[in-house]
A and B are shown apart, each in its own frame.
Chain A
Amino acid sequence: MNWDASSLWQFNVLLLIMLFILAIAAISIKDLVASAVIFGAYSFIMCLLWTAMLAVDVAFTEAAVGAGVSTVLVLGTALHIKRKSKD
């Protein structure tokens, strides 16, 4: 298979822009539960970027740990503490 990662560079730039937006949204939003969900979406975009860089094993780990379990763990914790962040 002759696949060149640069043939999809527009898609990668789009993913990178989305990554930036999600990263800024995750730290600036006041609601911790929403922040946790945005963090999960951030991990998923990161997973797609790993795939674009042909690091499939890392992408797999990112999808399972980052987007899957850690979102649930952060969400479970955020529901038990004060939901609104002060800053």
Chain B
Amino acid sequence: MKPLALLFTLSVGVLLLAASLDLPDWSDPASPASSHVSPYYIQESLNQTSVPNLVSSVLADYRSYDTMFETVVIFCAGITVLTILRRTFRSKDKYILPRPEREDADIILQSAVRLLVPVMQVFALYVIAHGHHSPGGGFQGGVILGASFILLSIAYDLKTVLKRFKENSILFLSAVGVLIYAGIGIICLFLGRNFLAYGAWAKLLGITEQEAHSHGMLGVEIGVAITVMVIMFSLYADLSSSGDLDEGL
């Protein structure tokens, strides 16, 4: 079976490499991708949304609907892992893989993490809040926030973190993030515009339409960040304790 698999892999690889010769040159201005919609975004995005980072404005404004469902996908993935792995009762004949004994708390590791985690979280908030002016945004900031909690539960214990960050609030916040995103869109509907057309917020907030687009993006990025943060932590908590939420790595 193995030589056959190698043959298939190699032939698919050769086919893909041959096909890649037909791709346009890297950063070719005449390529189809950069000759239809890209010039429009590059020219109009700053005027229409007052957001200098084109990637953010395309992601969270022009293609906002896609990003909303990306958030829903993350929400569903987190809920699915929780549903499959989470064990709310302790079975007596549970087979526990032999694991190395957890050594006593490492004071150097714990002190370093205590110093590191606040810096990480402030940086993550900066990434979220500054996502439409520099690289970054809700996904990245949310992942860094989630990683700070994961780091805390590796250095200390899963229980220590879960005492401050209860499972109920994980479930609650993961839904809140999606609801913030969809809610911002639905309020646009009530103000007489299309779903997620942030320009509608201009009248409500007393700002220009361009600024409303920028603020709308910030709002949805916050929603994305909340969902991603709690789902990342809940994935770690369930995977590393095989659903018992007792010990972690």
Q: Assuming A76-B249, A79-B249, is B139 touching A61 (CB within 8 A)?
A: yes
Q: Does B143 contact A (CB under 8 A)?
A: yes
Residues of B within 8 A of A1 (CB): none
Question: Does the CB pair A80–B97 fall under 8 Å?
Answer: yes
Please determine whether B26 and A64 come into contact, CB atoms closer than 8 angstroms. no
> 4 tightest CB-CB pairs across the interface, nearest first?
A76-B240, A64-B143, A56-B135, A57-B55
A residues with a Cβ closer than 8 A to B are: 53, 56-57, 59-61, 64-65, 68-69, 72-73, 75-77, 79-81
Q: Are B140 and A69 within 8 A (Cβ)?
A: no
Beyond the given A57-B137, A68-B143, please list 20 additional residue pairs across the A-B interface where CB-CB is below 8 A: A59-B135, A60-B127, A61-B139, A61-B143, A64-B140, A64-B143, A64-B147, A69-B143, A69-B236, A72-B147, A72-B154, A73-B239, A75-B249, A76-B236, A76-B240, A79-B99, A79-B240, A80-B97, A80-B240, A81-B97
Chain A residues lying within 8 Å of B232, measured Cβ to Cβ, are 69
Interface string of B154-171 (1 = CB under 8 A from A): 100000000000000000
Pair A72/B236 contact, Cβ less than 8 Å: yes
When the two chains form their complex, are residues A69 and B146 in contact, meaning their CB atoms are under 8 A apart?
yes
Report whether over half of chain B's contact residues are helix, strand or loop; otherwise say mixed: helix
Q: Is the CB of B147 within 8 A of A68?
A: yes
CA distance A57 to B135 in the complex (A): 5
Residues of B near A69 (CB, < 8 A) are: 143, 146-147, 150, 232, 236
Interface residues contributed by chain B, number (CB under 8 Å): 26
Closest Cβ of chain A to B6, distance in Å, is: 12
Complex Cα spacing A73 to B127, Å: 23
Residue numbers in B under 8 Å from A65 (CB-CB): 139-140, 143
Contact with A along B209-249 (1 / 0, CB 8 A): 00000000000000000000000100110011010000011
Asked if B199 is at the interface (CB within 8 A of a chain A CB), the reply is no
What is the CA–CA distance of A77 and B242 in the complex, to the nearest angstrom? 8
B144 contacts the other chain (Cβ, under 8 Å)? yes
Residue of B nearest to A64 (CB): B143
On whether the beta carbons of B146 and A60 are closer than 8 Å, the reply is no
Closest to B235 in A: A73
- B contact residues around A57 at 8 Å (CB): 53, 55-56, 135-137
In the assembled complex, the CB of B164 is this many whole angstroms from the nearest CB of chain A, namely 19
Cα distance, A68 to B145, chains bound together (Å): 11
Q: Which A residue's beta carbon lies closest to that of B136?
A: A60
Please name 23 pairs of A and B residues whose Cβ atoms are closer than 8 Å in the assembled complex, sorted by A: A57-B55, A57-B137, A60-B127, A60-B136, A61-B140, A64-B140, A64-B143, A64-B144, A65-B139, A65-B140, A65-B143, A68-B147, A69-B143, A69-B147, A69-B232, A69-B236, A72-B154, A73-B239, A76-B248, A77-B240, A79-B99, A79-B240, A81-B97
Residues of B with C-beta under 8 A to A61: 139-140, 143
Interface positions of B from 59 to 89, Cβ below 8 Å from A: none
